[in-house]
Amino acid sequence: MRNTVTKISLFILIGLFISACNTVKKVPDGKKLLTKNEITVNSKKEKAENIQNLIYQKPNTSLLGYHLRLNLYNLAKLNHDSIYKAKFINHPEKYRRKSKWLSAKQVNRLGQSFWYAGIHDFLRDNGEPPVIIDVKSTEKSSKRLKSYYFNNGYFNVTTRFQTDSLKLKKAKIKYSVTTGNPFFLDSLKTTILTPALDSLYQTRKLTSFIKSGKQYKTEDFENERSRITTHFRNSGVYYFQPNYINFDIDTLGAKHKANVDMKINNYSFREGDSTTTVPFKIYKISEVNIYTDFVPNKIKPTATDTIRTVYLNFNLFSSKKLKYRPKSITDAIFIAKGNLFSDIRTTLSTRYLNNLKIFNYPSIQYTPDPTDSIGNSLIANIYLTPRKKYSFGASLDLSHSTIQDFGIAGSTTLSIRNIFNGAETLEIAARGNIGSSKALANPNDRFFNVTEYGLDLKLNFPRIFMFFNTEKIIPKSMIPSTTLSVGIAKQKNIGLDKENFTSALSYNWTPKRNHSARLDLFNIQYVKNINIGNYFKVYNSSYKTLNNLAISYQAPSSYFSDGNLIIDSGANSFINDVLSAIPAITTNEIDRKTISSISERRRRLTENNLIFASNFSFAKTTKNDIKDENYYAFKTKVESAGNFLSLVARASKQLKNQNGNKNIFGLEYSQYIKGEIEYIKHWDLSRKKVLAFRTFTGIAIPYGNANSIPFSRSYFAGGSNDNRGWQAYSLGPGSTNSINDFNEANLKIAASAEIRFNFFGQFNGALFVDSGNIWNVLDNVKDEKAVFSGLKSLSNIAVGSGFGFRYDLNFFVIRLDFGFKTYNPAEIGNKKWFRDYNFANSIVNIGINYPF
């Protein structure tokens, strides 16, 4: 019965799509569906994206040649309301019968139900109506093509178009462009009526976009107008605007050459009923007034109704006693008495003041100084509206991770602004998490068996907090800040149960626009494992391997309970019997190495970690805003740990422990150097198609007091933001077959690419390929399969591929990706390629937002 229903449903579904595949179903008689735009320039086909985008009408979108959105639209009944009404008008008896067991009102409302109306509204809204050729739009496209080439120097360009019918109700449009010869700039002349502006122009003349011999481009003239305006307004010319610059282009005379005369007129302004024209003036700042408690929508304060504080040629006004140390505010202002008026100084002051986070967005206004008889002085008035001193915030999140199947996390934050009257901000955050995990030991069978809670304090200074002056190294134009943070957290049933203490002193600054830099002078992490006896319950793969070996070598029965090694005593006894100087249980060399590896991994993952590191990170991006999909982003980070503690250990003459390493506060400290590089590139393919690429390389090398990297600083592979053909921590190292529960190593190479496209509305899709792996290098791991030994190890790069669905909620994206193992280096011979390429072995990745 079930098979019959399935077949009938499939038959109906196929029938519906076949009926929808008639792409001209909703094209009126006498009209044509646009199937293609063909552009030829000087008899050559032009497929450049910027040229194709000049066309107003574009064919309906398609996915691999299939017009999904058009066919969805064709399935919709646009007049569903009238169809429903006609159903009863033609059959009144049916209406009476329905009204007997439903009221007349309910029968009428049935026409607005999902089955009769909602489904068709959904198909209409998410579908795409047929693009019907419109002559007026075609003419506008032809004119736009002509304008484009004209603005690029082809003054004699001609365009034409024709419509070619293909099949019934289908046609394509052919656009033909004949450019003619381009025009080049010849003589250049400037006529600047204000002598002071002429002098300013001459100082930057060599940076002009307009040069003799260049092909004419309107864009160059717009850029030149913007360049001159920026230069003048950053040099004191307060009233200058781009409209004062005009270009006269003369194309008569010389063949295909254009003579340019740039004219800059004097300043014009209305005075009563007449217009006055005078030379431009260069203005200086005579006063800087800062109103520190300005209230919007009220009369602006004056010097007579406020308290004035003078500090370094700045006038600070407040209605009551000044709440801020003057230096904390004046350091954020780049406008100074005696300086020329400058837009860039205004912008920098606005950015820095806003970055203090103690004021709302500032307002900076200029007025002529009435006391200046010459009339070339300005008063800068800066209006600051304080934010509330105390503010509270709270958040609640649902999460899914490699350890937690389901988690609920909450946090509350108290922010205290201007805490020491120097524009500092203190944030106190309390956080907690409860979760459920099937992977952990859970004897009481509780659903919420994972808990975590912690407290974080973060103090931010809007300057570099250092014992020497850093202005020459990191000027205040880079908007520097210092953050001191301290955090404590306790985890229960997450791994081995941990207590975690962190502290950091960080310096942040922006060297250029879209650049950021960070230096952690110190970054301390102390991790204390509490429930180390739980190790073999958490890392179950290691336990199973050890248990099987204990059974095969007939370990003493006292080590077992119900046929399995007792955790933790039985496992420890078996390991000691095998690895002791005089072994009580003799094994072959391979099994001994396996047991030794398990023992070493347990020691490393259960020991307490003290990490005292310093690091520097730098990031650069060309992304302009959140909707920009044509950009690149570059990140790099260098970290060094243990050097300071090594000096302390040497100075205090610490002796080496039984492992040959030195202790500080009774703990072995970690020592390593680490470097990472990440590069992301997005290409906008137009029409909501994006090609995204990411590559990452990271390596951490232990030395000195350590022969391995702490778990929290090592790398893993797999997961929803990495190689999606494998679950997180299940790939590698190298060609090993994921023998551990949480596989990690100290070298990682990864690269991913995916093409993203839109199905309809907010529903998007993606096809992706991920590659990469992790390896051990220059540490204490000896397994040849796990160790990176040169270029030949690159043959162990795993490849995963698949497809995904994404739903864009504007403020975040819900992501569902299906990954398949395409090349598995852990397999042997010809089994490496496509062996598990099926849905039964696919990895379902659920994520929030895009992976890169």
403-427 pLDDT per residue, tens: 556 678 888 999 999 999 999 999 9
Give the model confidence (pLDDT) of 149-179 as tens digits.
Answer: 999 999 999 999 999 888 788 999 999 999 9
For the ranges 165-169, 204-208, 608-612, 705-709, the maximum mean pLDDT occurs at 204-208
More confident residue, 439 or 51: 51
CB 586 within 8 A of CB 574: no
Q: First CA to last CA across the chain, in angstroms?
A: 47
Quick one: average pLDDT of 377-393? 94
Of the candidates 837, 741, 825, 734, the one whose C-alpha atom is nearest the C-alpha of residue 788 is: 734
For residue 30, how many other CB atoms are within 10 A of its CB?
6
The overall longest dimension of the chain from CA atoms, in Å, is: 110
> pLDDT by residue (tens digit) across 648-665?
888 888 777 777 778 887
Nearest CA to 734 out of 648, 792, 647 is that of 792
CA distance 741 to 539: 5
Q: What is the pLDDT of residue 103?
A: 57
For residue 267, count other CB atoms closer than 10 A to its CB. Answer: 19
pLDDT band at residue 61 using 50, 70 and 90 as cut-offs: confident
pLDDT of 742 strictly over 80: no
pLDDT at 499 over 60: yes
Q: Which of 396-405, 463-472, 676-685, 730-739 has the highest mean pLDDT?
A: 676-685
pLDDT for res 739: 64
- Rounded percentage of the chain residues whose pLDDT exceeds 90: 48
> What does the buried/exposed string (b/e) look like for 788-818 if buried means 16 or more CB atoms within 10 Å of the residue's CB?
beeeebeebbbbbbbebebebeeeeeebebb
pLDDT at 96: 60
Q: At how many degrees (to 10) do helices 569-579 and 589-606 cross?
A: 130
Cα 511 to chain centroid distance, Å, stands at 20
Q: What's the CA gap between 150 and 157, in Å, rounded?
A: 6
pLDDT of 775 strictly over 80: yes
What value does the mean pLDDT of the chain take?
86
Q: How does pLDDT run across 224-272, given as a tens digit for each residue?
A: 999 999 999 999 999 999 999 999 999 887 788 999 999 999 999 888 7
Ranking 239-253, 441-455, 606-620 by mean pLDDT, the lowest is 441-455
**What confidence category does residue 2 fall into, taking pLDDT thresholds of 50, 70 and 90?**
very low
Residue 35, CB-side half-sphere exposure with 13 Å CA sphere: 17
Q: Is the pLDDT of residue 574 over 80?
A: yes
> What would the mean pLDDT of 492-505 be, rounded to a whole number?
83
- From the centroid of its chain, how far is CA 782? 38
- pTM exceeding 0.75: yes
Rounded Cα distance between 812 and 17, Å, is: 32
Quick one: pLDDT at residue 498? 84
Give yes or no for a contact between 361 and 349, defined as CB atoms under 8 angstroms apart. no
Tell me the pLDDT band of 812, cut-offs 50, 70 and 90: confident
Which of 52-66, 152-166, 275-289, 742-756 is the least confident region?
52-66
Does the pLDDT at position 204 exceed 80?
yes
Give the model's pLDDT for residue 86.
Answer: 59
Q: What is the DSSP letter of 819?
A: E
Query: Per mean pLDDT, which range of 72-86, 317-331, 773-787 is the poorest?
Result: 72-86
Q: What is the mean pLDDT of residues 569-592?
A: 89
Q: Indicate if the pLDDT at residue 125 is higher than 80.
A: no
Least confident of 10-24, 453-467, 528-542, 725-739: 10-24
When pLDDT is cut at 50, 70 and 90, the band that residue 16 belongs to is: very low
Question: 261 - beta bridge partners?
Answer: 189, 248
Quote the pLDDT of residue 118. 66
> Which residues are within 8 A (CB) of 757 and not within 5 positions of it... i.e. 6 or more apart?
63, 688, 689, 690, 764, 765, 766
Counting DSSP H helices and E strands in the chain, the numbers are 17, 34
pLDDT beyond 80 at 148: yes
pLDDT in the model for residue 8: 44
Residue 10 has pLDDT above 50, yes or no: no
Taking the mean position of all CA atoms in its chain, how far away is CA 769? 19
**pLDDT > 50? residue 20:** no
How confident is residue 81, by pLDDT bands cut at 50, 70 and 90?
Answer: low
Q: Looking at residue 437, what DSSP letter applies?
A: -
